[in-house]
Structure 1
């Protein structure tokens, strides 16, 4: 994450209000573009059209779509006008990975006629015209195609080539909750919100004050409640409806109206899908059959902690010896600074040139062999940027100069390589639309990274392609921007699949878009603050896991303890011991148990900092390892059905009051374990909403008979987050027995 935070002193309130008026609220104040529908008398009568397994019921001024097998359940419906179009121009500014969209509507076409229905087998086409406010008229077509048991595919297009905006509207219900949309970190139910879908830097603070305002005033870096590395134009609702826009263009879901949804797409065509399923799991399965599914992780990743640290060979040995003495199960060592460290205004960062720093990690082959002999795999770090290492002076290759000479970097409109500012340095971005550049970078990762014996790596970034970029493929950058993380994940996936060691390799990405589940092998949630809150802290990580899992991000995790540390004259944000201990508890019940030092390692409490953190790291690492067999079954399910490992209660108990919390504070690991992590400081007990039935408390073995809307009060001492399993659950009982055998549940707890 490229961020600089300086003092607020000297910045005026007028300046702050000006920034907010132009940037934060410019998009929010945009209104939906509704259309008025005119229907000729010949179509005024109700009629029915069957296409494949589906049915369209026309009511004279609107229609509904349903499966013929269940005509009572509406999959998608409109009432009156459902399509408008227009001409717009968006000024999109990229600033250190954040994007600011200034949309100017120039022409609107809001008078809609519907003039014909044409059926050809399983395809039904609706045609009519749009009347624009500048006098022009354009034909349009909406094509519905049966897609087997999965649902209905939809295509929308207008005839007038100058129209570059579509506004598609459909019905919703006042009490209908909307979930998904990729990783959303602050709100879980998106009803009543206006949600842009634009891959970008998530920001620092995202509403947490005074940090967000300070970051915005200094570097426009604060982000907003909706900014996300991994948004997806896909949702599921509490009424078991699901919709997916396949467009890569900038688009906005407007869910503010009680009875309507509007999708604004910055394009003249749209391909979308309406899924059908009898429960939430079936809808996820339908969606992931389109976008792809994530494979199971290598078994070694599940046996303990992946320790993230920096500092070179001697520091690695020192810390590992400390953790070995504390009996911490370590399955991997993630040395992100394998390329060497540099100090910037943001803290400790890396030299973005993907070759081993032989001085920083002296004797690397011996160290790697030593670790492998202990059952510890090593992991690296890469991203699609390159910096000129001439000033560093000791690299065997200057990859930036190689890429520059070969014309492999993204360009600006003058034909020069774009220099993209990160913190206090700039970098070039490899043009992944160029097949030669793609092949070259893939070769670099093989020759310089895999050849060093690494078994995994963080494939960082991918969210920052500027709209003003000129690409080798000739495609408009605004249509590649959201897809760029898919290109980056696809390159890394090829490195894995083409390696003779592919069964032991994996990588994890943060930036993602719709089809990333079929391309990446794991994800992480990006750069949370070292705070507790749901704007940008621990609670936001939980919400991000839950929302992302509904859009196919089934194998996901977070940095233990968070990442972003800020030194600020008004308020410092440093990782506390308590936050680190509680984040360990949360992470033990996710797909990976991986720590991160953060951007300012020396100012954060670390897993090895003292006896308390070491003991907790050992304890929760063992809890994580005890769940390996259970997670293995869940990862197999993820690869075949697309279901996430970490799940909202709503996925399994859609009608139970326990699943109706506006902001979730608990989650399921698979279908068998319910976890309520501690999400605030100084908490010694929790009231946990459990679905109706009989539940067993993991640590005490106490059984609770729960009625609808009941809450169970349970103690949560450090090391014992609130964990329950259904009475009779084989997975729950197996976990309890394993922890008892390891001495992690003692007789005094029972």
Structure 2
């Protein structure tokens, strides 16, 4: 990283790339004061900011000494500096620490040099737009919303009912990190509310609601090198457990009847690795649909002999998975124990326990900033009630609901704790695994996240998609989610087969289930879900054609297990994700920079799932630089063109690099027995 002084300013470069350009008439840093208004309703946040002042710091005074560089910035020469940039560098990159000299200054706006044709990706787990250029992205963990499209009737209805319609930028897992097509990556080390604005041709404006903050930078000639650097920074996930690769995890929440229904999958020839029963803790019926009883232990009334059945499944090579989240319902047995021990977050202005309305039931928030509370939850709730009981995995849900007006044990303000909460939650789960020697053997999966969740959470899931093909909340969004999060060190990603959210008469179709299963067969984990309203939506085992198709897809997944194991080992060594954007291996093909409806499964297989209804042909871009072999026909296509292929149900468009070391495995896909 080099600082080059100019008349009236400076340029900051990293490996020859200009990152900051400061001139008196175009300052790179603005500071100010804002007064926010934050309201939460069932995990949906309404955030407004009144900017009291915004000041451009036009005069720079540079001080170089003892190998460090400090830039003091003021409104004009002769005035006291209001902020400073402190620069440090290394062989791997550099860092810029942003400091405000007046505690009243709680807003920073940093302008980073941009090019008109530049592309940017990242932002955590984005669902609508993989290439973020041309839009502004607030970065705040929350419910993404229903429909996520203000022009759709579904989102309109959700907004009218509960302000829960969402928008294109809302996500369970934001992260203030991006990669640029200029071959650098940038991360802001802060948990404060922030926003990345990529709408201007000449600069990106990065907004942070706190000072200080540190901007971290990496440069590399290869995109794969940047992904590895980010994985080094945020932490590596362990390899996938071997048992996961043996088949699909079947999601059923039907009490004891779940075991009977599982046999229908086995009889249909499905390859099975797990039975996931989130209702192992009991059910609570609400207007939203079937919810769980948030008291994290075996509910014997719903599962009469679960302890014995878990052992029987395990003997067959099938693991049992459950569900947990970091909140305790007030009418459960764990809530009074936690409250008496002082393990719950309090109201800001009193010693009363803070309870959150989760939709017709209230819960306390376990305060993970209290080491004793975190240890209690990891050891007793997860360790004893789940791992010691025999569970091999679980959905570690929520994490994005922390209110901003809570009082926490360590004194952290709620506005700074909110984004950090999913990482603390992931750490509690990871600690429980480690305490039982189960790291890399048991598996939990999360939807909420923030910077650093990678080092704790072994598997992401894409959250609660609508049960449809819609552009902003349907099947296609899980591809965008996998690609964006994968660039930031999250190697493993998957989704609810068939989607989750069914509201206002929106129900899933057999076609949707089948197309989703086709995609899931070429992701790290196959897992089904009955959705929030199981009785209103078609289930896999209720339709003979859907069940036969699903069983076939599980066999394809198992056929690909040797390749997936190799990708998992590669992820542990390099941080490269299993599902990869096309540009990661074809950087010289500019068309790959905006592709978000297809992905590379590893470096050698291109997957182009059908994500629209009522079609049996599909068009996809094949990257330039190699020839591609269509799996189902054996036809060879030259890269660098759009190709349209037949895509009937049961034959998702698949292409492999001609000459791949995995050619025999890929060709063998057509030999897997099919009854579709």
Q: TM-score, length-normalised on structure 1?
A: 0.87
CA contact (8 A) 2:9 2:60 kept: no
In 2: Cα distance, 1:412 partner to 1:701 partner: 64
1:120 aligns with 66
In 1: Cα distance, 2:127 partner to 2:268 partner: 34
Choose from 359, 362, 378 the match for 1:423. 359
In 2: Cα distance, 1:600 partner to 1:434 partner: 36
In 2: Cα distance, 1:329 partner to 1:671 partner: 26
2:673 aligns with 743
CA contact (8 A) 2:12 2:21 kept: yes
What are the equivalent positions in structure 2 for 1:454-533 lying under 5 Å apart? 454-533=391-470
Partner SS, residue 346 of structure 2: coil
TM-superposed CA distance for 1:96, in Å, is 0.7
Q: Does 1:609 align with 2:542?
A: yes
2:617 aligns with 685
1:179 aligns with 121
In 2: Cα distance, 1:668 partner to 1:75 partner: 30
CA contact (8 A) 1:75 1:276 kept: no
Deviations 1:12-64 (A, max 9, x none): xxxxxxxxxxxxxxxxxxxxxxxxxxxxxxxxxxxxxxxxxx32222324433
CA contact (8 A) 1:75 1:241 kept: no
- Which stretches in structure 1 are left out of the alignment for 5+ residues? 1-53, 391-397
Choose from 104, 117, 120 the match for 1:162. 104
Q: Which has the higher mean CA deviation after the structures are superposed, 200-209 or 585-594? A: 200-209
In 1: Cα distance, 2:481 partner to 2:53 partner: 37
Choose from 569, 588, 591 the match for 1:655. 588
Deviations 1:92-133 (A, max 9, x none): 111111111111111222243112231322x3221232469x
Choose from 590, 597, 606 the match for 2:523. 590
In 2: Cα distance, 1:153 partner to 1:660 partner: 27
Choose from 408, 418, 427 the match for 2:343. 408
Deviations 1:545-596 (A, max 9, x none): 1111112222111110000011x2xxx2101000000000111111100000
Choose from 177, 189, 206 the match for 2:148. 206
In 2: Cα distance, 1:731 partner to 1:380 partner: 35
CA contact (8 A) 2:489 2:577 kept: yes
1:627 aligns with 560
1:560 aligns with 497
- Which stretches in structure 2 are left out of the alignment for 5+ residues? none
In 1: Cα distance, 2:565 partner to 2:274 partner: 18
1:728 aligns with 659
Deviations 1:618-674 (A, max 9, x none): 11111111111111121222222221111111111122144144x522111110100
1:252 aligns with 195
Residues paired across the two proteins, number: 670
In 1: Cα distance, 2:61 partner to 2:42 partner: 48
In 2: Cα distance, 1:560 partner to 1:240 partner: 35
Q: Does 1:700 align with 2:633?
A: yes
TM-superposed CA distance for 1:138, in Å, is 4.0
What are the equivalent positions in structure 2 for 1:630-641 lying under 5 Å apart? 630-641=563-574
In 2: Cα distance, 1:137 partner to 1:211 partner: 53
What are the equivalent positions in structure 2 for 1:190-589 lying under 5 Å apart? 190-207=132-149, 209-313=152-256, 315-389=257-331, 398-413=333-348, 414-442=350-378, 443-566=380-503, 568=504, 572-589=505-522
1:83/1:518 CA distance change after superposition, 3 Å: same
CA contact (8 A) 1:130 1:140 kept: no
In 1: Cα distance, 2:675 partner to 2:234 partner: 42
In 2: Cα distance, 1:324 partner to 1:678 partner: 27
Deviations 1:282-309 (A, max 9, x none): 1111112111121111111111100000
In 1: Cα distance, 2:160 partner to 2:306 partner: 44
Q: TM-score, length-normalised on structure 2?
A: 0.96
In 1: Cα distance, 2:633 partner to 2:20 partner: 47
Deviations 1:469-521 (A, max 9, x none): 11011111111110000000000001111113444211111100011111111
In 2: Cα distance, 1:430 partner to 1:519 partner: 19
2:18 aligns with 74
Partner SS, residue 264 of structure 1: strand
In 2: Cα distance, 1:373 partner to 1:608 partner: 23
CA contact (8 A) 1:154 1:271 kept: yes
In 1: Cα distance, 2:223 partner to 2:246 partner: 31
1:389/1:736 CA distance change after superposition, 3 Å: farther
In 1: Cα distance, 2:501 partner to 2:555 partner: 27
CA contact (8 A) 2:508 2:538 kept: yes
Choose from 86, 89, 95 the match for 1:153. 95
In 2: Cα distance, 1:75 partner to 1:718 partner: 48
TM-superposed CA distance for 1:601, in Å, is 0.7
Deviations 1:167-193 (A, max 9, x none): 111210111111111111111111121
In 1: Cα distance, 2:591 partner to 2:552 partner: 29
In 2: Cα distance, 1:188 partner to 1:666 partner: 11
CA contact (8 A) 1:201 1:228 kept: yes
TM-superposed CA distance for 1:76, in Å, is 4.7
In 1: Cα distance, 2:184 partner to 2:118 partner: 10
In 1: Cα distance, 2:18 partner to 2:564 partner: 36
Q: Which has the higher mean CA deviation after the structures are superposed, 626-635 or 589-598? A: 626-635
Q: Does 1:110 align with 2:39?
A: no
TM-superposed CA distance for 1:608, in Å, is 0.8
TM-superposed CA distance for 1:317, in Å, is 2.3
Q: Does 1:92 align with 2:35?
A: no
Cα RMSD of the aligned pairs, angstroms, is 1.9
TM-superposed CA distance for 1:147, in Å, is 2.3
